[in-house]
Amino acid sequence: MRDARTGPTRAQMQLMAEEVLSGLPEEFRSALGEVVLRVEDFATQEQLESVGLDDRWELTGLYEGEALPDRSIWESGRLPARIWLFREPLIAEWRATGVVMAHLVRHVVVHEAGHHFGFSDDDMHWLEDEAD
């Protein structure tokens, strides 16, 4: 990681997020195989609007796609689901809270992965506890 004032680069945060996915139990990793994991500095205006936010500093992660339980075998040609991490808001949260950056990234990745499975918040907490 770079100097503590600047936080990780996008590439470093991408690696951190990929490590989280690789630490999930196999049954979850295999079901996430098609999901694209991306790190950007901020969410787009469209992404913010999709979750009812105005302030780009408020969104640290986002799942875009249809949850597995809502999919139909009759549909085809859909784009792969995506998990987005937004670097600058994560760095701001890290600075404000003092929480270890790897823990913040882990929390966001697991939470967004949970949306892929249609999990409740309680389910997501369990999955996060299982991730190593």
Residue 103's alpha-carbon distances to 48, 62, 80, in angstroms, are: 23, 17, 26
User: How much is the pLDDT for 76?
Assistant: 63
CATH number, domain 10-130: 3.30.2010.20
User: How much is the pLDDT for 115?
Assistant: 87
User: How much is the pLDDT for 126?
Assistant: 75
Q: Where are the domains of the chain?
A: 10-130
User: How much is the pLDDT for 125?
Assistant: 72
Give per-residue burial for 82-120: e unless 16+ CB within 10 Å, then b.
Answer: ebbbbbebbbebbeeeeeebbebbbbbbbbbbbbbbebe
Q: What is the pLDDT of residues 21-49, one digit of tens each?
A: 999 888 888 888 789 999 999 999 999 99
The series of mean pLDDT values per 10 residues for the chain, 132 residues long, is: 72 96 88 91 97 96 79 65 96 95 94 85 71 54
User: How much is the pLDDT for 34?
Assistant: 84
> What single DSSP character describes residue 74?
T
pTM, whole model, 2 decimals?
A: 0.84
User: How many C-alpha atoms does 25 have within 13 Å on its Cβ side?
Assistant: 8
